Structure 1
Amino acid sequence: MVPAQSSLNISFFQPPAFLMVGIPGLEALHCWISIPFSSMYTVALTGNCLIVLAVSRTPGLHQPMYYFLSMLALSDVGLTLSTLPTTLSVLWFDYSFIGFNACLVQMFFLHFFSVVESSVLLAMAFDRFVAISNPLRYAAVLTDNVIVRIGMAIITRASLSLFPLPFLLKRLNYCPGKVILSHSFCFHADVMKRACADITVNILYGLYVVLSTVGLDSLLIVLSYTLILHTVMRLASPKERAHALNTCVSHILAVLVFYIPVIGVSMIHRFGRHLPRLVHALVAYVYLVVPPVLNPIIYSIKSKPIREAMLRILRRRGQ
């Protein structure tokens, strides 16, 4: 019995570290590629931190819509910080190794902030629905206490949904030798495919998480806007219709910026195995880097109160 147990232990392999790649086929240009990546990370962190500061320091922005915008900005900061260290270490220093446990931690937080962002976008759609469909009860429905509860529910939902993922990966047997990932960060779908074991449970649970979070959120957002359009079409004045829809433009753009890359990543990981590795890498980077960069730009352009509050903070810093 003892020798058999020993052989079982020997047959189980868990890599001490994974080898990450930057942009496949463009390794010689990593130094130059790091310049736009560094710029985008700087814009993402600066823009989203400015939004949080603008909302927290401007009493006139202490409203449900701007509280949800702060949550969106915080989730973008978390998403950016989840990938920044490993991506820049690969591009700047050609340091491509990440420890097994560190990879699982990064994977958890990467997906955690993605689920949080999806949930916040759903909360923002609910905010717009209440504001347009029942403006007289808006303040009574979305009180500070309700917003805090929504925030706690978002965090709890993301934590419980993703908590099993690292443990499901840790139980797998991996192929001996150098284990190479497809990106400069750890995706669940990418890590599980490196196992030399049956990954059916991982696939099914990963699909469940996607459908029960991002998938469900996207359907509810579409439903919210269907109801919003139904309400707007009943307004008598074209000017009132235009004003009501204009309050939703920023949110609609943020939804498109987030969900289009998410759908692209999901489709490529499931059906695009024949595509070049470069395509996989570019779609993944668009999904993780572009929304945190564009969201502050969208809201600073479309929302005058946010833009003015951000400019005031920059002027104070410059003095």
Structure 2
Amino acid sequence: MTRQGRPWLPYTLLTVALLFLILHEAGALGPFENLLGLVVAPVERGLSDLITGVGNLFQTTRDVRVLQQQVDELQSANDTLRVENIRLREQYVAENQQLRELLDFKSENPTYSLVGADIVERGSDIFPRGKVVGEDTNPYLRYFIINVGSRDGVAVGMPVVTSGAAMVGRIAKVTSHLSYVQLLNDPSSTVAALFQGSRISGMVVGREDGSLVMTGILPDEEVDENEIAITSGVGGLLPRGLILGQVESVSYQEAALFQEAVLRPVLDFRRLEVVVVITDFNRPPVEEFEEGP
């Protein structure tokens, strides 16, 4: 039978609804409603617990993700600190070793007046040739900046050394608190030198590629490989005996009518942390310079 065949159904449902409403208001449905509540309440509680459990599960999942992210961040920070700790420990050990060797240098040269210094900047990494520093144009390609200056008795031209009496360079510019050290392998660096064994003399100069070369060696002079080049002290500007480098190879420069010896540096400029400035030393008498090495 179709809906059109049951026109009484809406009226019947409306009548039943009104009857239930009247009975509810009169309190006649109380026992029935209580029974219905007893039946429905467990189902309602179960559904509520289920919904709460599902909500807690999603919240726990979110909490786990947040905790995992925090753990990852802490692990990353811990790894960074561990690497930094290793770096600082290695730096501390290296600096300690250099300081011990510099103390030995002081005890072996009691006539020298020395000023210790830390390297605070490495010029070749921060200033290209010709970059303006303050009001001056920096003419050096390779240099360090150290944390001592005129107030510490440092002056232009003074030699800078490291452990083992190895020469680093010379003071090129001084302020009250800082000094610029022109490195030995700067292209404009020139040092009077001689070989420790053969006493052959020449000039040690820096090259654009950072190498060291001893020039001015006469063609008939024999230079042995691995000979040590030292400062000659000629002119009294530098003490005699500071180590410059070791012979790596020798070549004859026909155009210049001289031999050249390529020197292997005895120190790694990149690993230096501390140096010493020789502010005074006993200069050989003038007649010794006149006689030659």
How would you bin the TM-score normalised by the shorter chain?
A: under 0.3
Q: TM-score, normalised by structure 2?
A: 0.23
Q: Which has the larger radius of gyration?
A: 2
Relative contact order, CA 8 A, sep 6+: which one is greater?
Answer: 1
Q: TM-score, normalised by structure 1?
A: 0.21
The structure whose residues are more often strand, as a share, is: 2
